[in-house]
Amino acid sequence: MSEPGASRNGVGPSVGELVERFELEKAWLVDPISGREGPGEIVVVDGILESVNWLEGAEADGVTDKGVVVAPGFFDLHAHFREPGFEDAETVASGSSAAAHGGYTSVALMPNTQPALDEPGALERIRLASRASGSPVEILAFGAVSANRAGETLSAMGELADAGVLGYSDDGAPVRTGKLMRSALLYAGMLGLPIVEHAEDLEFTSGAEAHEGYVASIMGLAGWPSAAEVNAVSRDLAVLADAIKDEPRARLHITHVSTAEALDLVRRAKAAGLPVTCDVTPHHLALTDEWIAGARRWAWDALNQDGTSRDPWADSALTAGPYNTSLRVNPPLSTPVDAAACLAALLDGTASAVVTDHAPHTVVDKEVEFGKAANGISGIETALGVLLELVDAGKLPLVRAIAALTTGPASVVAGWPARTATAAARARGLVEGASADLVVFDRTDRWKVTEESLRSKGKNSPLLGRELPGRVLLTIAAGRLAYQDAEADDAE
C-alpha cells in the first residue's frame, strides 16, 4: 500500500489535507450497495475514487477476506460529542478524531449539549467547531424536539430545518408525553424530517441501575425492567399510527432498541406498513448484564443451544471485578437472549443500522459507585472491532456488517422525505468517480483498546485491555485524510 501522497512529494498528507494519490492493490473490497465483495484494487486521485477494479482469476489468487479490507466510510447515526457544555468529556475535534479512528466519515450528533441544540445558533457553533478542528469527518446533527429538551414546548423546528438538521430528538431522554410526541411527529413530518426517539418510560426507570433480571437480583441492583422500553415503544407506535392519518410524511426512528419484546413491536409495526425504523448498538449486540457481575464473554457465548441464557455463576464465567461503571448505560445491557434478538433484528431488517451511541464521560463521572455513575459507553472506536467479532464467530456475514454501518443508516435517512437525494442520504458504496469516502482496515491485525490507543477523551469503554480485530489503517472522508495508522506497513 503506498502512502497517500507519498509518491508525489515523499511526505504523507496530514489530517484534513486532500489525498493526492493513494493506491491499494490486492485487497478485499466490500461494496454494500451492490452487495458485492471480493479481491480488488482501488486508486484515489486528488480526492476522487478514480478506479475500483475487481480482480478475477489468477490475479485474485491469495487475496482473502481475512487480510486488508476496503469499505465505504462508516456513518454513525447517533453519537455524543458533548460540545458545547461538556468539553471535558469530548469536543467536536476529539470526537471527530475518534470517529475517524473508528472508520467513520459521517457522524450525526445528538442535541443534549449545554445549551441544547434547540435553535440554529447552536448548530452553527458545532459547524464552526468542526471546521476549526480541521477534520474532514462530516458532522451532522439532530435538533432537539422540545425547547431546551424540557419536554414542554416544541423547539424552533422550522428554523432548525432551514439550518440543516437531520431530524429531531430529545435523546438522553424520551419525548416526555405522548401528546407532545404527536405534535412533534406532525410538525416535523410537515418539514419532511423524522423524530428520533430514545424509548424509555421514565416512571419505571427512576433510580434504576441495571436490567431487571437474574443478575440484578443477585447483585442487589435496582432493576430497570424491559417494560420501560416496551411501554415507551408501544406508546410511540400508537402515536405514530395516529399521526400519519393527519400527516403522511411523519417519520419515527427508534434508536438503541435493546429488548426482544420492543424489537418485536417494531417488526410488527413495519409489517403493518408504519413508517418506523430502528437501530441497535454494538454493546447491545455483544455485551450483556452478566458483564456487571464480572463475566467477560461475548453475548453469543452466553447462550445455550436452546436459546436460553447461561448462568455466569454456574459457568464460573466471572473473571473480572463486578460493578464496573463503564458498563452502566441507557438502555442498560440486557440478557443474552435480548442480544440475540438484536442480532436477529439486524439480520431480518427490522433494525436497519448499527449506531454507536458514543457517550464519552470524564473519569470524575465514572470513577464512582455504580449507582452514581453516569450512563454511557465510549464506543465509536470499537464498533468495527465488535462487529468483526460477530463476523469471526460466524454470526454475521462481513458484507452485512459493513452494510449495517453504511448503507443501513443511509437508507434510514433516505426514507425521510426531506432527505431523499440530499448529501446525507447519499448511498455509501465504492463508486467510481465519486468523492473518496472509505476506510481501510486489516481484518486479522488486532489492536489493543487502551486509554492511550483511544482517540476519544472518553476512556469509559468496557473493552479496555482487550484486543479487537480490524485495526483501521486509513480513513478518507470526502477525499481528505481523516485518519492514518502510525505504523501502517506496506500491504501486498
Partner 1 sequence: MTTATTPAATWRHRHLIDVDVLTWPEFELIMRVSEEMKGILARPIRKVPALNGRRVTTLFYEASTRTRVSFEAAARNLSADVVSVSTATSSVTKGESLVDTVRTLEALGAEILVMRHAVSGAPYLAAEIFSGHVLNGGDGWHAHPTQALLDLYTMREKLGHDLRGKKVAIVGDILHSRVARSNIWSLTAAGADLWLCGPATLLRGMDRWAVAWSGGAIPGHGRFNVTSDVNAAVKDADVVMGLRIQRERMQGGLLPSLREYAARFGLTAERVALTKPGAIVMHPGPMNEGVEIAPDVAVSGRSVILDQVANGVAVRMALLYLLAGGHEATHVETVR
Distance in Å, CB of 462 to partner 1, minimum? 15
Closest CB 324 distance from partner 1, rounded Å: 9
Q: Which of the ranges 208-216, 389-397, 431-439, 441-449 carries the binding residues for partner 1, by CB under 8 A?
A: 208-216
**Closer by beta carbon to partner 1, 54 or else 313:** 313
Q: Which of 5, 47, 167, 213 binds partner 1 (CB under 8 A)?
A: 213
Nearest distance from residue 198's CB to partner 1, in Å?
25
Give the shortest CB-330-to-partner 1 separation in angstroms: 18
Q: Which residues contact residue 314 at a Cβ distance below 8 angstroms, ignoring those fewer than 6 apart?
A: none
C-alpha cell at 178: 405522548
Give the residue with the Cβ less far from partner 1, 324 or 406: 324
Query: With respect to partner 1, which residue has the nearer C-beta, 80 or 297?
Result: 297
- Shortest reach from residue 334's CB to partner 1, in Å: 14
Which span (20-28, 338-346, 369-377, 432-440) binds partner 1, by CB under 8 A?
369-377
3-state secondary structure (DSSP) of residue 41: strand
**Total residues at interface with partner 1 (CB under 8 A):** 27
Taking CB under 8 A as the rule, does residue 272 contact partner 1? no
Beta strands 471-477 and 480-484 are antiparallel
Q: Which is nearer to partner 1, 145 or 287 (CB)?
A: 287
- Is residue 54 within the footprint of partner 1 (CB under 8 A)? no
322 binds partner 1 (CB under 8 A): yes
Out of 318, 414, 478, 491, name the contact with partner 1 by CB under 8 A. 318
Among 222, 272, 393, 423, binds partner 1 (CB under 8 A): 222
CB of 256 to partner 1, least distance (A): 24
Q: Cα–Cα–Cα angle for 54, 486, 361, nearest 5°?
A: 105
314 binds partner 1 (CB under 8 A): yes
Q: Specify the residue, 16 or 322, whose C-beta has the smaller distance to partner 1.
A: 322
Residue 72 and residue 32 in contact, taking contact as beta carbons nearer than 8 Å: yes
Whether 65 sits among the annotated catalytic residues: the reply is no
336 in contact with partner 1 (CB under 8 A): no
Does position 221 bind partner 1 by CB under 8 A?
A: yes
Cis peptide before 417 (omega within 30 of 0): no
If one counts every other C-beta atom within 10 angstroms of the C-beta of residue 137, the result is 27
464 binds partner 1 (CB under 8 A): no
Q: Is 369 in the site for partner 1 (CB under 8 A)?
A: yes
Q: Starting from the edge strand earliest in sequence, which strands make up the sheet with 68-72, in order?
A: 48-54, 36-45, 21-31, 68-72, 438-442, 471-477, 480-484
C-beta of 132 vs 363, nearer to partner 1 = 363
Q: Annotate 46-96 with DSSP letters as a single string.
A: TTEEEEEEE--GGGGTT--TTSEEEEEPEEEEEE---TTT-TTT--HHHHH
- Tell me how crowded residue 306 is: count the other CB atoms within 10 A of its CB: 5
Closer Cβ to partner 1, 7 or 217, answer by number: 217
- Toward partner 1, which CB reaches closer, 54 or 323? 323
Contact present, 149 and 110 (Cβ < 8 Å)? no
Q: Which stretch binds partner 1 (CB under 8 A): 44-52, 111-119, 186-194, 317-325?
A: 317-325
DSSP 367-387: SS-GGGSPP----TTTHHHHH
Minimum CB separation of residue 370 from partner 1 in Å reads 4
CB of residue 327 to partner 1, shortest distance in Å:
11
> Looking at beta carbons only, is 54 or 214 nearer to partner 1?
214
Q: Which of 34, 64, 153, 217 binds partner 1 (CB under 8 A)?
A: 217
Question: Minimal CA–CA distance to 276: which of 241, 305, 310?
Answer: 241
- CA distance linking residue 450 with residue 120, whole number of Å: 37
Considering only residues 367, 451, 467, 492, which one is a binding residue for partner 1 as defined by CB under 8 A? 367
| Rounded CA separation 425/429 (Å) | 12
* C-alpha distances out from residue 270 to 10, 245, 258, 265, 351, Å: 54, 16, 17, 9, 10
From 76, 357, 437, 442, the catalytic residue: 357
Sign of torsion over alpha carbons 367, 370, 372, 373: positive
Cis, peptide link before residue 136, omega less than 30° from 0: no
Q: Which of 10, 57, 321, 433 binds partner 1 (CB under 8 A)?
A: 321
- Cβ atoms of 459 and 90 within 8 Å: the answer is no
Residues near 456 by beta carbon (within 8 Å), at least 6 away in sequence:
90, 94, 95, 97, 98, 358, 360, 378, 380, 381
Task: State the residues that interact with partner 1 by CB under 8 A.
Answer: 209, 212-214, 216-223, 294, 311, 313-314, 318, 321-323, 364, 367-372
Catalytic positions, please? 357
